[in-house]
Structure 1
Amino acid sequence: MKKNAKEEIVKAAITLFKSNGYSGTSIRDIAGLAKVNTATIAYHFENKPGLLEYCFTNFFEQYISKMEEAYASIDKGAKNCLKRMVVDLLHYQCENSKLASLVYREMSMDSQVVREIMSTYLLKEKYYFQLVFERGFEWNEFRPHSIPYLIIQLKGLLMMPFMNTHYMREVLYVFPNEPFFEQKYLKDINLWIDKTLCSDVPMKMGAVIK
């Protein structure tokens, strides 16, 4: 069996699913691009739905891990914690821009895989965002807002460049896979945190340190 065959299959699947769509891509297409036979794909993933599910799971396992690591710094303040989450999540998506675009596009479809992802990983994502926002309210770092609407705004900021890559390139002439984009866009998201979310009232000394 070809060395690194699994990685080559996943890479080929992401490329083809993104360019041709999931339904427009066959196992034979993926095997051809990955330079493996179809039996190798069956060995690793069983079938095309299994391969798509692997792409979803692989993306969100790492995504949630970034959130968990960032949340460990909550005692340094909710604002600092949220900014670290944003840095890590944006960087992860920029590093995996093709996969992020594929996942977000497919997430707009109603399927069994998507429902499973929503009932596991996306509930975990909501959980960590909610914890940070609640701590920010409690410690007087954030102005009172509706948490669901804050999550909508923040997720919109984080997802839009990867959900609409064609629009970004052809209309705005912005390229999410370039390092310059990550640096510039991070400043804009931090501005949203500083100006829209954060309170003008200074945090009380010792309110966060435990």
Structure 2
Amino acid sequence: MQDDPQDGQQSEDGSPRGQRTRQTIYEEAMRLFETKGFRGTSMRDIAAACGVTKPALYYHFECKSQLLAKLYEDITAKFFEDVREIAAAQDSAESNLRRLVVSQSIYNINNRRFLQIFWNERHELEGEARDALARLEREFEATVQSLMERGQAEGAFAEAPPKVVTYAVLGLLSTVHRWALYTDRPPEVVAEHIADLVLGGVIRRGDA
């Protein structure tokens, strides 16, 4: 990878070349974080792995923590866009919950390598990046809880504390990236099975 011409400056380059450069940095950083850990990896290590100078790397990221935060932003951007679209949909709570569970399951499975690194290293985020992550997580939790409450109001979901059910569902979804590979099933198939399991637990049953 060639050095960027404006060494020492932070990049907001959205050009195809800039995007390719960032992708190379992401890939090499993840490889190093996997093998050496976040704290054991220096910006010099990342620059060397990418074949650039340290100033060229700092053109894109001012520190490792920012690199990790930007990697999270880029990888999750489409997922959170989909979540907001699902939350705004005027379908039934049951339909929206299924779409949300399937969407997160597929996302988690397809990004299992990154998620393993991120769950190990997220405590290294600093300042605004840490606050931004907390806001995104609270927003997502609120979306799921709102679906639970709406489903109960519609009479479709069983009566149970919505917050308890929300955390139970999120707990299940947060681990799928660790074990889905061992099922020998495509992500889409695993996601549908998880959705069946979740909905089977929350849908209201007829009187016995």
TM-score (norm 1): 0.78
Distance in 1 (CA, whole Å) between partners of 2:175 and 2:49 is: 29
AA of the residue aligned to 1:82:
L
Aligned match of 2:74: 58
Structure 1: which 5+ residue stretches go unaligned?
A: 169-173, 203-210
How far residue 84 of structure 1 moved from its aligned partner, in angstroms, is 0.6
Distance in 1 (CA, whole Å) between partners of 2:176 and 2:51 is: 31
Q: Which moved more, 1:137-146 or 1:61-70?
A: 61-70
Distance in 2 (CA, whole Å) between partners of 1:158 and 1:19 is: 26
How far residue 190 of structure 1 moved from its aligned partner, in angstroms, is 1.9
AA of the residue aligned to 1:68:
R
Aligned match of 1:185: 190
Sequence identity (%): 21
Aligned match of 2:204: 199
User: CA separation of 1:31/1:123 partners in 2, compared to 1, >3 Å: closer, same or farther?
Assistant: same
Tell me the matched-pair count.
190
Say which of 6, 31, 42 aligns to 2:58. Answer: 42
Aligned match of 2:172: 157
Kept in 2, the 8 Å contact 1:27–1:38? The answer is yes
Counterpart secondary structure, 2:41: coil
Distance in 2 (CA, whole Å) between partners of 1:47 and 1:105 is: 18
Distance in 2 (CA, whole Å) between partners of 1:137 and 1:33 is: 53
Structure 2: which 5+ residue stretches go unaligned?
A: 5-16
How far residue 181 of structure 1 moved from its aligned partner, in angstroms, is 4.6
User: Following superposition of structure 1 onto structure 2, how do residues 60-209 of structure 1 map, counting pairs within 5 Å?
Assistant: 60-73=76-89, 75-107=90-122, 109=123, 112=126, 115-162=130-177, 165=178, 168=179, 175=181, 180-201=185-206
TM-score (norm 2): 0.78
How far residue 179 of structure 1 moved from its aligned partner, in angstroms, is 7.6
AA of the residue aligned to 2:158:
R
Distance in 2 (CA, whole Å) between partners of 1:90 and 1:55 is: 19
What is the root-mean-square deviation of aligned Cα atoms in Å? 2.6
Q: Which moved more, 1:185-194 or 1:18-27?
A: 185-194
AA of the residue aligned to 1:18:
E
CA deviation vs aligned residue, 1:131-172 (integer Å, no higher than 9, x gap): 21111011011111222222222112211133xx4xx4xxxx
How far residue 111 of structure 1 moved from its aligned partner, in angstroms, is 5.2
Distance in 1 (CA, whole Å) between partners of 2:66 and 2:195 is: 37
